[in-house]
Amino acid sequence: MKQLLLEFQRDSGYYDIFIENLKVFSDSYWEYFEIILDANKAFLNKYPRVDNV
């Protein structure tokens, strides 16, 4: 079931279309997205070898 959901999200444009538009239309999602990006940068700075996995 999980694999089917991931395939549906990929094939339907969930990440490329829906999420990108959500960032435009929702200020709160944009703020959340920025926080996640900052957390990811901090994680990669602390564990740089993870980026190559």
Residue 3 is predicted with a pLDDT of: 95
Residue 51 is predicted with a pLDDT of: 72
Residue 53 is predicted with a pLDDT of: 63
Residue 51 located in a structural domain: no
Residue 46 is predicted with a pLDDT of: 93
User: Which range of residues forms the domain containing residue 26?
Assistant: 1-46
Residue 53 located in a structural domain: no
Distance, CA of 29 to CA of 36 (rounded, Å): 10
Q: Which pLDDT tens digit goes with each residue over 1-53?
A: 999 999 999 999 888 999 999 999 999 999 999 999 999 999 999 998 887 66
Residue 10 located in a structural domain: yes
Cα separation values, 12 from 18, 19, 20, 46, 47, Å: 9, 12, 13, 35, 33
Residue 15 is predicted with a pLDDT of: 87
